[in-house]
Structure 1
Amino acid sequence: MEWVVVVSVLVLTILSLLRLNVILAIIAAAIVAGLMSGLSFGDSINLLVSGMGGQANTALSYILLGAFAISISYTGIVGFLVDFLIKKLGGRRTTIVLVIAGIACLSQNAIPVHIAFIPILIPPLLKLFNSMRIDRRAVASALTFGLKAPYVMLPLGFGFIYHGIIVDGLAENGIELSVWDTALAMLMPGLGMVVGLLVAVFITYRKERDPIIGSGGSGTIKVREEAEVDLTFNSKHLLTLVAIVGALIVQIISENLILGALTGLVLMLAFFVIPYKSLDKVMADGIGLMGAIAFIMLVASGYGNVLRETGAVDALVEASAGFIGDSNQAVIAFILLIVGLLITMGIGSSFGTVPIIVALYVPICVAAGFSPMAIACLIGTAGALGDAGSPASDSTLGPTSGLNADGNHNHIWDTVVPSFIHYNIPLIIFGWIAALIL
């Protein structure tokens, strides 16, 4: 039973690398997990479907954020940002990529819209990328960095939620830390991600590269590109900014993405930035923009349910605890991080994985003599591991949704693999070192 998670995740990984559609790869991995656990095909599918509601809140928020993002794009305000970037950054490829990473970082804290900004910002820039021969894998790495590093290191925005989950899990096991304590514990793993970003931008993907035509496949996420607009600031742009700020305030106060997105849409309608008669089209385009990602997240949630309900995760936890035995801290920390990678790769959500990891890590770490800060570091790092390398993670699906707008960016080889190499490997190394010195 302890091999169920390992084999199932390998199936997901191999099928994804073979460019099978992500949804089909997840379903196949779930069926394999079910069959290995003694379930029938039908029972495996039923367990998958019954668990899809676990990400319903996230899926709905993505669709509403997509509609809000579409309404923003209708005003032409994105044209300003694109024009500003082109004029200010000129022909410096690495500078453009780093600025994109900075903008992505803001989406997690200052303006917590998560991945909804990507299909609005990136498609208008694709022609610029092509003319400058920017390697899109560098852009994907920059976007994934911006989606992960801020919540890993800072307890603000989405980071406040992530570190709060860690703190709550530790508190349930008698370990009292604040979110700022966990942020300090995660500083070194976060710096590992910074190293990964610099390696990707200045070494691995520094050279010029043309996109491979049609590499995105038939499952391309088509994104509405902005029409030619007058790049002069007007009242609609001002009211759009007000709507964005309003959505941000409501989201921060309520800690609810759905309410924030709804607020933004209502304000856009109230200010007549988008006409009421266009609302149906805005919603339809919003579903087209984020619907594929939302549905993949639903299926991934069902897959995680199969792994949990069949007892596969518990079996892996027990086997890991037995295998570790009386090993020294260095060996224990490394094994725990690898197990965390496997679990997170399968579930595809660092936020949803932390409660599972806490149940495994705390008893083992306490028995091995790790400090509370070291335990928090191991839990936070293991939760982040695999998120950037999972085909079903929004940290990889988001960048692909923008970069594959023209069908020339492959999700697995151009987003998932680069992200896995440049972030998961540094996270393991830096997280392992941090756990030993804290």
Structure 2
Amino acid sequence: MNAVLAAVALMLVLSLCRVHVIIALIAGALLGGWLGGLGLAGSLGAFNQGLGGGATVALSYAMLGAFAVAISRSGLAHALADRVTRLAGHQPEAGYRRLKWLLVVLLLGAAVASQNLLPIHIAFIPLLVPPLLYVLSRLGVDRRLVACVITFGLVTPYMFLPVGFGNIFLNEILLANVARSGVDVAGVDVTRAMAIPALGMLAGLLLALFSYRRPRAYDLDAIERVEPTRQRYSPATLWVAGVAVVVTFVVQLWLDSMIVGALAGFLVFSGSGVVRWGEVDGLFTEGMKMMAMIGFIMIAAAGFAEVMRATGQVQGLVNASSALIGNNRALGALLMLLVGLLVTLGIGSSFSTVPIIAGIFVPLCVQLGFSPLAIVSLIGTAGALGDAGSPASDSTLGPTAGLNVDGQHDHIWDTVVPTFLHYNLPLLAFGWAAAMLL
């Protein structure tokens, strides 16, 4: 049995059985390494070698967690909760409904902007989502809907718009690897190539808005324990919170470092007196605890991905698919998309999947008679598949980091499964249609 297939399958099954994701990743990596001929020692060696790949992001999340706790101390959550009552006015039901969708649109806009206008990726989530939890829960907003909305905003822009992270994925990775594999992409409009798959993501978002439209109850007391709302605040503390957020974003964009950006924002709180000097140590510890699980999953995922690469059987999986395809274009497109889905589910990165699959699939696409536009669409979709719905992807870990600060949002069943069903299945169908039509 192919080592990558077995490793990803075990990791997913254990995760769905509510085995902790970190344990599932380690178990999957050891099984994959053993089947791939690395042995126990070789598997552990490769796993340990890959751990450093996730350390930077993990530390970034720990720093952002501390900064998010500082934001809660500013009284921002209480101010938002008070604003709910005023916006609802004398028509509570209608007012709450309007405010609910206003917040959903706000989160969608922030997620989209994080990929291009302010290319800070998932850094906005621990800063924006936790202070909104009390308001969202008071309105009865299903957090599975919020997870789907944020994931849509994290994935769709980079796979469709060649700006910000989209420029990296579409031009520097997708087109570059297709061209390196022997296809002339000089006249290919990458936005047109990915338009139909992007419509699949949009269809998934509309389906999620319908699936999770009904109110869902959450324990408001649990939220207040981590995001206290009954506390004093003033225009001054709210202004400090606003300045700190702006400073964090500006510093991150300037130095390209979430760690330094979060530190700069935290220093604004500390220097202004919103966070007293004697509280700094405890606040840092509280914030790092809040994000510790997400950080460790990212580290374990980097180790898992390194074991998969060390087995060399990702290439074997691609070759086996090529042997099954023959001259059947429809079957070829479907199998290539499924392989891309499997690889990305395992390693958690669309950006890493494209270079892995392009070397074999592009020549096969040429042999099957696909046009350059269809080849770009097919390889791009195969890479993007699985980013939503992977337990190890930052597109799912990010939303969970913000939504689970009070322990009421399960990573697998409230983020991974909903995003997998609502995005991967439509993207698979629309990506296959794009390959056949273009």
TM-score, normalised via structure 1 length: 0.85
1:228 partner letter? R
2:315 partner letter? D
Identity %: 47
Which residue among 183, 195, 204 is the counterpart of 1:196?
Answer: 204
CA drift of 1:95 comes to 5.0
Which residue among 80, 91, 96 is the counterpart of 2:96?
Answer: 91
Matched residue, 1:69: 68
Q: Matches of residues 91-240 of structure 1 in structure 2 within 5 Å?
A: 91-92=96-97, 93-163=100-170, 164-175=172-183, 181-202=189-210, 204-210=211-217, 224-230=226-232, 232-234=234-236, 236-240=237-241
CA drift of 1:42 comes to 3.3
CA drift of 1:393 comes to 1.7
2: CA distance, partners of 1:382 / 1:79:
44
Alignment: residue pair count: 428
Q: Any unmatched runs of 5+ in structure 1?
A: 214-219
2: CA distance, partners of 1:177 / 1:254:
33
CA drift of 1:389 comes to 1.1
2: CA distance, partners of 1:86 / 1:377:
47
Matched residue, 1:332: 332
CA contact (8 A) 1:22 1:296 kept: yes
1: CA distance, partners of 2:402 / 2:216:
18
CA drift of 1:418 comes to 0.9
Matched residue, 1:16: 15
2: CA distance, partners of 1:208 / 1:184:
38
CA deviations 1:352-410 (Å, max 9, x no partner) are 22221222332222333333332222222222211111112222222223333333322
1: CA distance, partners of 2:274 / 2:426:
45
Go from structure 1 to structure 2 and tell me whether the alpha carbon gap of 1:221 and 1:434 turns closer, same or farther (over 3 Å shift).
farther
CA drift of 1:317 comes to 1.6
CA contact (8 A) 1:293 1:397 kept: yes
Q: Any unmatched runs of 5+ in structure 2?
A: 89-94
What is the SS of the residue equivalent to 2:235?
A: coil
TM-score, normalised via structure 2 length: 0.85
CA contact (8 A) 2:11 2:28 kept: yes
Q: Bigger shift: 370-379 or 6-15?
A: 370-379
CA drift of 1:315 comes to 0.9
2: CA distance, partners of 1:113 / 1:85:
28
CA drift of 1:107 comes to 3.2
2: CA distance, partners of 1:279 / 1:65:
14
Matched residue, 1:365: 365
Q: Bigger shift: 385-394 or 39-48?
A: 39-48
Go from structure 1 to structure 2 and tell me whether the alpha carbon gap of 1:282 and 1:201 turns closer, same or farther (over 3 Å shift).
same
1: CA distance, partners of 2:254 / 2:186:
21
1:224 partner letter? V
2: CA distance, partners of 1:208 / 1:262:
37
CA drift of 1:125 comes to 4.1
Matched residue, 1:319: 320
Q: Does 1:308 align with 2:309?
A: yes
CA drift of 1:411 comes to 2.0
Matched residue, 1:436: 436
2: CA distance, partners of 1:13 / 1:74:
38
* RMSD of aligned residue pairs (Cα, Å): 3.2
2:338 partner letter? I
